């Protein structure tokens, strides 16, 4: 008997040694070939190129960026642009998703049908196609900037993007800088480009369909008996939702919603197709200019991996808090 265990142990060791050995061998072979190929193309590997001037302009940026600044600064601008579209996207998708999720559970037939139609349409068409469609609508079907539509006081929408009032800290705290119709242009306030708007709307509309399903499933998971018991105790519909259903539903909603937020951030990489300069788009330009494929892709992997790990850590924190509260109750 003991001999059989020893033999099984030896076999297990051999299998694992074989797997690790093959992997190392493959990695060594790939690294050797890549090195040879890079040398043949005259590309110096290493991250030294990050310090050289980028030599390309970036269409929009949170910081002042010009072609004379270094590649690492370009990457930083790209990453900031990714967050600049992903974070408002999360907010918009959450609001929209919750509304549609509730609509799908409404006693009203028309609202239910509208919610279902929304989910089925937006989930079953590729995001890339949706982004392209938004971009086309925003840049081709809107009026030129001289005839911008003012759909809310101070909000101007046109081919050149959206102008909106901005809290102007430079003028006086709490005061708004209002955009105004100039001779040929909208002056003052803040503007976002149609590229940004297309990515924002596309990401939010697409993720909202998934979030709606998550919200719906979470609410449905709370057993009917609880709602009926709460009703028997005299709680109104609003009170039942606030104090009985939501606290329990949230436990089931938050983890998948967190993953959906991560998906939205990852999906912002599709911005490259409408020319919004997010991280991937900057990496792509850099790669084409310098040929530093290994380094550029390594940066992308590192950034997205860090984002995934951060999301996972936040969700674990939330779960731990839930468990603690659950045991205290």
Partner 1 sequence: MIAWLRGNLFSGWASGLATLLVCAGAAALLPDLLRWGATHAVFAPDAEQCRALDGAGACWGVIAEKYRLVLFGRYPHAEHWRPALATALVLAVLAGFLLLPRAGRFFLGRAVPLAAFAAFGIAALAGALFLMAGGALGLAAVDTSRWGGLPLTLLLALGAVVGALPGGILLALGRRSSLPAIRALCAVYIELVRGLPLIPVLFMAAFLFPLFLPRGLGADVLLRVLVALILFAAAHLAEVVRGGLQSVPQGQYDTARALGFTPWQVQRYIILPQALRAALPALTNSFIAVFKDVSLVTVVSLYELTGALQLALAGDADWRPYFLEGYLFIGAIYWAGCFALSRWSARMEAR
User: 12: which 2 tokens?
Assistant: 């297990």
Instruction: Please report how close the Cβ of residue 128 comes to partner 1 at its closest, in angstroms.
Output: 5
How many Cα atoms sit within 13 Å of 184 on the Cβ side?
0
Within 120-149, the residues that bind partner 1 by CB under 8 A are 120-121, 123-129, 132-133, 136-137, 140-141
Q: Judged by CB under 8 A, does residue 111 bind partner 1?
A: yes
Backbone angles phi, psi at 301, to 5 degrees: -60, -45
Within 298-327, the residues that bind partner 1 by CB under 8 A are 300-301, 304-305, 307-309
Instruction: Please report how close the Cβ of residue 293 comes to partner 1 at its closest, in angstroms.
Output: 4
CA distance 250 to 258: 12
Cα-Cα-Cα-Cα dihedral sign, residues 29, 32, 38, 39: negative
Instruction: Please report how close the Cβ of residue 13 comes to partner 1 at its closest, in angstroms.
Output: 9
Instruction: Please report how close the Cβ of residue 116 comes to partner 1 at its closest, in angstroms.
Output: 12
Of 190 and 306, nearer to partner 1 (C-beta) is 306
Of 259 and 319, nearer to partner 1 (C-beta) is 259
Q: Please state, as a whole number, how many other Cβ atoms lie within 10 Å of the Cβ of residue 167.
A: 13
Instruction: Kindly indicate which of the ranges 10-18, 64-72, 192-200, 242-250 contains the residues binding partner 1, using the contact rule CB under 8 A.
Output: 10-18
Instruction: Please report how close the Cβ of residue 61 comes to partner 1 at its closest, in angstroms.
Output: 21
Q: Judged by CB under 8 A, does residue 28 bind partner 1?
A: no
Instruction: Kindly indicate which of the ranges 57-65, 106-114, 184-192, 224-232 contains the residues binding partner 1, using the contact rule CB under 8 A.
Output: 106-114
Instruction: Please report how close the Cβ of residue 6 comes to partner 1 at its closest, in angstroms.
Output: 16
Instruction: Please report how close the Cβ of residue 299 comes to partner 1 at its closest, in angstroms.
Output: 9
Instruction: Please report how close the Cβ of residue 64 comes to partner 1 at its closest, in angstroms.
Output: 28
Label the pairing between strands 161-164 and 190-192: antiparallel
CA distance 306 to 310: 6
| Residue 245 per-residue DSSP state | I
Per the listing, tokens 């009917």 go with: 224
Instruction: Kindly indicate which of the ranges 72-80, 114-122, 154-162, 320-328 contains the residues binding partner 1, using the contact rule CB under 8 A.
Output: 114-122
Q: Where would I find the H helices in the chain?
A: 2-41, 71-104, 109-123, 127-140, 194-221, 224-232, 237-239, 246-267, 279-290, 293-328
Query: Binding partner 1 by CB under 8 A: which of 7, 25, 29, 147?
Result: 29
The answer to whether the beta carbons of residues 105 and 223 sit under 8 Å apart is: no
Measured CA to CA in angstroms, residue 257 lies from 68, 82, 152 at distances of 41, 19, 31
Of 152 and 297, nearer to partner 1 (C-beta) is 297
Q: Judged by CB under 8 A, does residue 117 bind partner 1?
A: no
* Closest by CA position to 134, among listed 96, 156, 112, 162: 162
3 state DSSP class of 242: helix
Instruction: Please report how close the Cβ of residue 142 comes to partner 1 at its closest, in angstroms.
Output: 12
Q: Judged by CB under 8 A, does residue 33 bind partner 1?
A: yes
Q: Judged by CB under 8 A, does residue 223 bind partner 1?
A: no
Q: Judged by CB under 8 A, does residue 6 bind partner 1?
A: no
Q: Judged by CB under 8 A, does residue 51 bind partner 1?
A: no
Buried b (16+ CB within 10 A) or exposed e, 40-52: eeebeeeeebbee
* Closest by CA position to 162, among listed 175, 151, 177: 151
List contacts with partner 1 (CB under 8 A).
12, 15-17, 19-20, 23, 29-30, 33-34, 37-38, 106-111, 114, 120-121, 123-129, 132-133, 136-137, 140-141, 266-267, 269-270, 272-273, 280, 283-284, 287, 293-294, 296-297, 300-301, 304-305, 307-309
């Amino acid at each position: 008997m003991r001999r059989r265990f020893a033999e099984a142990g030896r076999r297990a060791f051999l299998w694992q040694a074989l797997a690790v050995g093959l992997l190392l061998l493959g990695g060594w072979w790939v690294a050797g070939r890549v090195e040879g190929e890079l040398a043949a193309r005259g590309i110096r590997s290493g991250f030294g190129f990050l310090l050289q001037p980028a030599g390309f302009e970036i269409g929009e940026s949170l910081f002042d960026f010009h072609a004379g600044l270094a590649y690492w600064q370009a990457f930083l601008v790209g990453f900031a642009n990714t967050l600049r579209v992903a974070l408002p996207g999360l907010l918009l998708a959450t609001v929209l998703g919750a509304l549609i999720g509730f609509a799908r559970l409404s006693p009203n037939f028309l609202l239910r049908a509208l919610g279902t139609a929304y989910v089925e349409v937006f989930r079953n068409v590729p995001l890339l196609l949706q982004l392209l469609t938004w971009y086309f609508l925003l840049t081709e079907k809107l009026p030129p900037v001289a005839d911008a539509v003012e759909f809310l006081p101070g909000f101007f929408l046109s081919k050149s993007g959206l102008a909106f009032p901005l809290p102007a800290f430079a003028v006086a705290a709490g005061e708004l800088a209002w955009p105004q119709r100039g001779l040929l242009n909208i002056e003052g306030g803040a503007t976002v480009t149609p590229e940004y708007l297309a990515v924002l709307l596309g990401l939010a509309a697409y993720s909202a369909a998934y979030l709606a399903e998550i919200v719906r499933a979470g609410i449905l998971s709370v057993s009917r008996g609880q709602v009926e018991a709460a009703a028997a105790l005299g709680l109104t519909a609003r009170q039942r939702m606030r104090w009985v259903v939501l606290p329990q539903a949230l436990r089931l909603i938050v983890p998948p919603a967190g993953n959906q937020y991560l998906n939205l951030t990852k999906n912002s990489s599709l911005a490259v197709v409408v020319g919004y300069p997010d991280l991937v788009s900057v990496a792509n330009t850099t790669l084409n200019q310098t040929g530093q494929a290994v380094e550029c892709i390594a940066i992308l992997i590192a950034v997205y991996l860090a984002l995934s790990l951060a999301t996972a850590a936040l969700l674990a924190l939330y779960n731990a808090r839930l468990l603690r509260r659950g045991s205290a109750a």
